[in-house]
Amino acid sequence: MKNLAFPYATTTTTTDSLLLAEIGVVLIFLGVIAYFAKKISISTVPFFLIAGLAFGTGGIADLELSTSFLNTGAQIGAVLLLLLLGLEYSAKELTDTLRIHWSAGLVDFAANALPGAIIGLLLGWGWVGAVVLSGLTYVSSSGIAAELISESGWNKSEMAKRTISILALEDMALAIYLPIISSVVIGVSIVTGLISISIAFIIIGLVILVSLRREGIFVGVLSNQSSISLLLTVFGAALVAAGVANLVGFSGAVAAFLVGLLLTGEVAEAARERLSPLRDFFAALFFLFFGLAIDPVTIISVIPIALVLAVVGIIGKLAVGYVIGKDMQSGDTWKRIGAYLIPRGEFSIVIAALAVSTSFGEELKSITIAYVIITTLIASLILRYFRSSFELTK
């Protein structure tokens, strides 16, 4: 067996020590950001992105030593974001949501995906750009929406349930969209692309079918495990699924989502409880790393485009809020539902990262970071402004 030195032996180099110190400073800085964001009741996401801009390419400092660590952390963050999303739902809940709220889902698609596609064509990005930008403008941030709902204290309200139903529909669409966009941006042949997309559909269909017909099939195996065993098993399964999926050309993020979807009931709830702190930690690195890869100077030229997308996106999500919440007792409730749906976040960034190899990939990254920051800040401000005027029967 290879002779392995103790991980913190005296042979640690100066570079290793500086790396540890740099990572520590980054984590402390993110912690301070999170503290003040909580104080002013605004999501941490835009601040993490801004921090990435400040300490990345062209920023006030360069976190060159810890780039590899942050890159790995960002990948794990994307996996955890989708895994926790899958743990939120069961296949039955997803199919019931689709059956009950499909009309609102169509409005959501028409009001948010189609405008993105049109703007993509107007920018001269072709049909590939239209497909990419439609997904980026369509999907709301489930993570930010859940955070905003939780901060308001209305987790169990009817309004929250209706908001989550729209998020669930978007997440279902995303599970199908990500493999498609992966094939599109790689530029594979039509036949190869159709095969890849067909495989994606088959995998998703099988997972949903297994979850529906054999609900709890994995629960019996996992239910008697200790907390640490459950944490390591579920987290490890998601990483393995994501790694293998990436090797065969399937979306690793979607694979993690499907792993979460297979778990239901008490096991899913226990896994959520134990993985949430890890999710929050690595998600912070995910947003930070995305900002690190972008030169702040490039954002200046795309701000007009980001503002146009933000205005269209705000109107589109408020329209969805009106459709799904107009019949509720308070006439203003639909505004809050719309505000919860306005922020774009982790999924828009995942889509932009998948499209980085395209001719418009670098410009798209700059647009995306500005778009996410604008929509998240505006949603938080809208909710704060209307907070005193909302009435809700829980």
CB 261 within 8 A of CB 86: yes
Q: Which residues contact 388 (CB under 8 A, 6 or more apart)?
A: none
Q: Which residues contact 111 (CB under 8 A, 6 or more apart)?
A: 315, 316, 317, 319, 320
Tens digits of residue pLDDT in 143-163: 788 777 777 666 667 777 788
Question: What are the mean pLDDT values of the chain's consecutive 10-residue runs (394 residues total)?
Answer: 53 73 85 86 83 76 70 80 74 67 85 94 92 92 78 69 81 75 67 62 65 55 66 84 75 75 73 80 83 85 94 93 79 83 87 86 91 90 67 43
Number of H helices, E strands in the chain: 17, 0
Crossing angle of helices 45-54 and 265-292, rounded to 10°: 30
CB-side neighbour CA atoms (13 Å) of 49: 25
For 176-227, give the secondary structure using H, E and C: HHHHHHHHHHHCCCHHHHHHHHHHHHHHHHHHHHHHHHCCCCCHHHHCCCCH
pLDDT value of residue 101:
72
pLDDT value of residue 118:
95
Length of the chain counted residue by residue:
394
CB-side neighbour CA atoms (13 Å) of 368: 32
Strand ranges (DSSP E) for 254-357?
Answer: none
Q: Furthest-apart CA pair in the chain: how many Å?
A: 70
List the domains of the chain with CATH numbers. Answer: 26-388 (1.20.1530.20)
- Residues 237 and 234: their CA atoms lie apart, in Å, by 5
